[in-house]
Amino acid sequence: MIIVPEREIADLMTREAAFEAVERVFAAMAAGEAYNFPVVREAIGHEDALYGFKGGFDRSGLTLGLKAGGYWPHNLAKRGVINHQSTVVLFDADTGRVHAMVGGNLLTALRTAAASAVSIRYLAREDARVLGMIGAGHQAAFQLRAALEQRRFEKVIGWNLNPEMLPNLEKVAEEAGVPFEAVELGGMREADVIISITSSFEAILGADQVSPGTHVACMGTDTKGKQEVAPGLLARAVVFTDEVAQSVSIGEAQHAVAMGLIGEGDVQQLGAVINGAHPGRRSAEEITLFDGTGVGLQDLAVASRVVELAQEAGRAVMVDF
Ligand code: NAD
């Protein structure tokens, strides 16, 4: 068995490699070559932890496995370790034998950022110049870094519930040489691309706070009850997602579907655009919205890639198992 410890991931995995892995697996999902297994998520009644598994199989790449982990809210305060914890285990699809164990914490951030970046590559207008960020927590910095590589952005605007967190975004924008400006939510009308990445349970962004032609990537809603944008925005937009079943049940589309504003059939797979089966954006006025719910196959795709990179770099730990 190959082990790639968490501490190795930062040196091995690049944003570009994560982008390619996620792009490829979204395409495989839309082609019916890869599928996610039902997600298990449990409050375990210990340390207030939420623990679960996300698994799947990609027949095209023969990637089989799962990500196990979750959220331990007291980790940082009590033990000095981060609250989100996950590990990916990959299996040999031919034999079922365990193939690799890979640290999943940084990979989760990279694959989530890669998902919105893929959506921007395929759905944002080519002339998008203003990038709007809603949320300024741990994931937001990764999202911003990956998004800035997709278009020739000239300005980043940001909003956060607690404005004192906005320097997290400003730092990333400045590193990329792009000016940053804090705005009220109404200021998001200036944005050509908006990414939301918060833990909110109620709509933050109103349907009228988005201009025609904008691409919106909703990345924070990955659980029943969470919500980042007004359901009316989904009714105004052409809606894409990683996986339709998750989008309408635990993703941003859950609310618009429950209210009858859109139906499951109105939500398209982003992979269909990658494959050329869906045209994607049809006009410069259309609002496109990507509902990034986070699927197990994304984790397996980046973990599988990092195992290859570790082997190439001679940094994979081999264990007899
Ligand atoms: P974090 O705790 O570091 O940051 C949370 C962010 O949400 C902060 O900007 C905070 O100000 C904001 N926020 C919290 N409550 C809010 C509210 N009521 N209204 C408006 N803003 C609010 O978390 P993180 O690690 O950056 O993760 C952000 C979200 O992304 C989480 O909900 C997480 O579950 C989700 N996530 C999604 C995926 C995916 O694949 N879609 C992957 C990883 C994380």
Q: Which residue has the tokens 């309408």?
A: 248
Residue 116 inside a domain? The answer is: no
Would you say residue 157 has pLDDT above 90? yes
Extract the tokens encoding 208. 């009228």
Residue of 198, 202, 240 to mutate, ligand 1, most atoms within 8 A of C-beta: 198
Residue 118 inside a domain? The answer is: no
**Do residues 261 and 311 share a domain?**
no
**Do residues 141 and 253 share a domain?**
yes
Tell me, what's the pLDDT at 73? 92
Residue 12 inside a domain? The answer is: yes
Pairing outcome for strands 98-103 and 2-4: parallel
Active site residue 67: yes
Q: Which domain holds residue 76?
A: 2-108+297-318
Q: What is the CATH number of the domain that holds 155?
A: 3.40.50.720
**For residue 238, which of 260, 209, 262, 211 has the smallest C-alpha distance?**
262
Catalytic annotation, pick one of 54, 67, 78, 155: 67
For ligand 1, whether the C-beta of 108 sits within 6 Å is yes
For ligand 1, whether the C-beta of 246 sits within 6 Å is no
Q: Whose CA is nearest to atom 6 of ligand 1?
A: 198
Cα separation of 84 and 82, whole Å? 6
**Do residues 301 and 266 share a domain?**
no
**Do residues 138 and 259 share a domain?**
yes
**Do residues 301 and 250 share a domain?**
no
Cα separation of 15 and 313, whole Å? 17
**Do residues 142 and 90 share a domain?**
no
Q: For residue 198, which atom of ligand 1 is closest to its CA? A: 7
**Do residues 254 and 314 share a domain?**
no
Extract the tokens encoding 273. 């655009």
For ligand 1, whether the C-beta of 203 sits within 6 Å is no
Beta bridge partners of 133: 158, 195
Cα separation of 285 and 61, whole Å? 37
Q: What does the pLDDT average to over 135-156?
A: 97
Q: What does the pLDDT average to over 49-56?
A: 95
Cα separation of 70 and 83, whole Å? 8
Q: What is the pLDDT of residues 91-126, one digit of tens each?
A: 999 999 999 999 999 999 999 999 999 999 999 999
Q: What does the pLDDT average to over 162-179?
A: 97
For ligand 1, whether the C-beta of 198 sits within 6 Å is yes
For ligand 1, whether the C-beta of 197 sits within 6 Å is yes
Mean pLDDT of the chain: 97
**Do 120 and 150 form a contact (C-beta atoms < 8 A)?**
yes
Q: What is the pLDDT of residues 62-88, one digit of tens each?
A: 999 999 999 999 999 999 998 999 999
**Do residues 135 and 104 share a domain?**
no
pLDDT band at 158 (very low <50, low <70, confident <90, very high): very high
ipTM reported for the complex, 2 dp: 0.99
Residue 34 inside a domain? The answer is: yes
pLDDT band at 321 (very low <50, low <70, confident <90, very high): confident
**Do residues 67 and 26 share a domain?**
yes
The domain tally of the chain equals 2
